[in-house]
Amino acid sequence: MQPALSSPRLLVVGILLSLALIVAQRLLPERRLDLSDAHAGNFHYLLDNNEPETAGSVGWVDESKLHLQCHYTRPANWQACGMGFSLVKEDATRGIDLSPFSSIELKMRFKGPTRLIRVGIRNFDPRFSKADDTNSPRPHYVNLRVQDLGEPLRIDLNEFTVPEWWIMQKNHPREYNRARLDNAIQISIDIPDELTNKTYEMEIDHLVLHGEWVSREQTYLGILVAWLLGASLLSMHRSVQLRQRSRIQQREIDALMTRTRELRVAQDELRRLAAVDELTGVLNRRGIEQVMAELENDDEGITIVIADIDHFKQVNDRHGHGKGDEVLSRFAALLATNVRASDVVGRWGGEEFVILCRGHKLDEASALAEKLRDRVARFDFDARLSLNITASFGVAVALPGHTAEEAFKRADKALYRAKSGGRNRVESASGSEPVSTFL
């Protein structure tokens, strides 16, 4: 009979308890803080410059509905139009730690001649913030396009960044300029635009912080610690028995450890050969080659589209490789969400991507490439930076009796023509004229 600690029943119980904890974590009610709830006693206020000589006004249309209007008739050194939500109680230096929250849900209505709405969070840092200086708490901002306000927005807290003007104005040490929301004292919504001789209205339906009472990471860490503790107890129990066993059993254990290391090495090799590009989430070169080989033998044939980001080196040189990686990830996502369900997207290498289309209809694949070219040219890759990203495309079809490799080479030559012809264009292997937008 097996010892109690090594009983398969305990293993089954442990697995069931682990699964139950995972399910329970997902069923827990969400952590919420509704700042727009008028009955919760939250303090809100108007954002204006309090200077009568500007002949301007920021006032409530209906305070109970958080509905305000702004209109300035003369310019001033500083103007404001918006509202703030206080996160402090009695002590102006003690706010709320937002680390348990992951996002802000915002639903609002807006009227006015501006393109952006700004959401800000002020964090009081006792190392340099002062209670009598409203500009000393570190600001964090994210800008939202007005056209995106039609539906409720979920804004991840990790989207908020410290603005450059504050860094330059305060000239604090570098460690003081990092985004940090552990003592947030204010959340604001305002217009980062010229306000003179313009009328703006905004109405906040709801502004809610969302988070988890127990995060998945904490749940998984607790389960892992419990399993490690159980494994440690089992190991201690087994070690007492192993001292009493023969050298043969010890050699078996040594052989088992060797086999475990071999399996770990083999597992690492399998990960290396995985077919998915780690940065972008689309297929990597190996995955594309596998799909290309499969489609080459398909009766429907295969058409190949090669896309290359124009002047990508300038993005890395001007904004850093981190921003370049973001552009690659968003470019891959843009391709993947705008192709047909039967198409396959992959990253061939660097800033070059490949789209494999079933069938041998060159005009349809060229139209798809034109659609993607247009989407890329109009896509806002970063709201805070002026990133004018375009891409060039080459298209070729694998004709009957020809290999996909040959078609790939012809598509690559077509891409070269698109680059040589001025970039931000589509060229097919047949040298046809530009096609109409894909519908």
Highest mean pLDDT among 212-221, 246-255, 338-347: 338-347
Q: Has residue 55 got a pLDDT over 60?
A: no
Q: Give the residue with greater pLDDT, 363 vs 434.
A: 363
Segment 85-113 shows an average pLDDT of: 92
State residue 383's pLDDT score. 66
Q: Per mean pLDDT, which range of 170-184, 226-240, 346-360 is the poorest?
A: 226-240
Torsion over CA: 406, 410, 415, 416 (sign): positive
The helix-helix angle for 216-242 and 247-272 (nearest 10°) equals 150
Average pLDDT over residues 176-184: 94
What values do phi and psi take at 374, rounded to 5? Answer: -65, -40
Q: What per-residue confidence (pLDDT) applies to 188?
A: 94
Contacts of 435 (CB under 8 A, 6+ apart): 363, 366, 367, 370, 426, 428
pLDDT at 7: 62
Lowest mean pLDDT among 185-189, 236-240, 434-438: 434-438
Residue 439 has pLDDT above 60, yes or no: no
Q: What per-residue confidence (pLDDT) applies to 371?
A: 95
* Residue 316 in this model has a pLDDT that exceeds 60: yes
CA-CA-CA-CA dihedral for 375, 380, 385, 388, to nearest 10: 20
Q: How far does CA 54 lie from the centroid of its chain?
A: 41
Mean pLDDT of the chain: 85
Task: Give residue limits of the domains in the chain.
Answer: 32-212, 285-428
Task: Provide mean pLDDT across the span 296-307.
Answer: 86
- Report yes or no: 424 and 373 within 8 Å, Cβ to Cβ: yes
d(CA 351, CA 353) in angstroms, rounded, equals 7
Q: How confident is the model at residue 434 (pLDDT cuts 50, 70, 90)?
A: very low
Residue 304 near residue 361 (C-beta atoms within 8 A): no
- Looking at the domain covering 32-212, what would its CATH class be? mainly beta
Q: How far apart are CA 353 and CA 284, in angstroms?
A: 9
Q: What per-residue confidence (pLDDT) applies to 56?
A: 67
Q: Is the predicted pLDDT of residue 436 greater than 60, yes or no?
A: no
Q: What is residue 39's predicted lDDT score, i.e. its pLDDT?
A: 66
pLDDT of residue 57: 80
Q: Is the pLDDT of residue 54 over 60?
A: no
**C-beta separation of 189 from 108 below 8 A:** yes
Q: What is the pLDDT of residue 399?
A: 74
Of 86-100, 103-117, 191-205, 397-411, minimum mean pLDDT range:
397-411
Query: Is the pLDDT confidence value at 243 over 90?
Result: no
Model confidence pLDDT, tens digit, residues 63-82: 989 999 998 888 777 788 99
Which range is least confidently modeled, 185-189, 262-266, 320-324, 341-345? 262-266
Residues in CB range of 236: below 8 A, 6 or more apart: none
pLDDT band for position 435 (cuts 50, 70, 90)? very low
pLDDT tens-place string over residues 409-433: 999 999 999 999 999 999 998 633 3
Q: How confident is the model at residue 1 (pLDDT cuts 50, 70, 90)?
A: very low
CA 395/CA 372 separation, integer angstroms: 12
Q: What confidence score (pLDDT) does residue 374 get?
A: 95
Please give the pLDDT value at position 385: 73
The closest of 91, 294, 125, 85 to 208, measured between CA atoms, is: 85
Average pLDDT score over residue span 166-182? 93
Check residues 37 and 309 and name the one with the higher pLDDT.
309
Indicate if the alpha-carbon torsion angle 245, 251, 252, 253 is positive or negative.
positive
Does residue 437 have a pLDDT over 50?
no
CATH code for the part of the protein at 285-428: 3.30.70.270
Average pLDDT on 160-180 reads 93
Average pLDDT over residues 147-153: 90
DSSP string for residues in 348-398: EETTEEEEEEES--HHHHHHHHHHHHHHHHH--S-SSS-----EEEEEEEE
In tens, the pLDDT along 339-358 reads 988 899 999 999 999 999 98
* Under 8 Å between Cβ of 88 and 95: yes
Q: What is the pLDDT of residue 2?
A: 46
The band of 267, judged by pLDDT with boundaries at 50, 70 and 90, is: low
Stated as kind and residue range, the H or E segment containing 207 is strand 199-212
Check whether 269 has a pLDDT greater than 60: no
pTM beyond cutoff 0.85: no
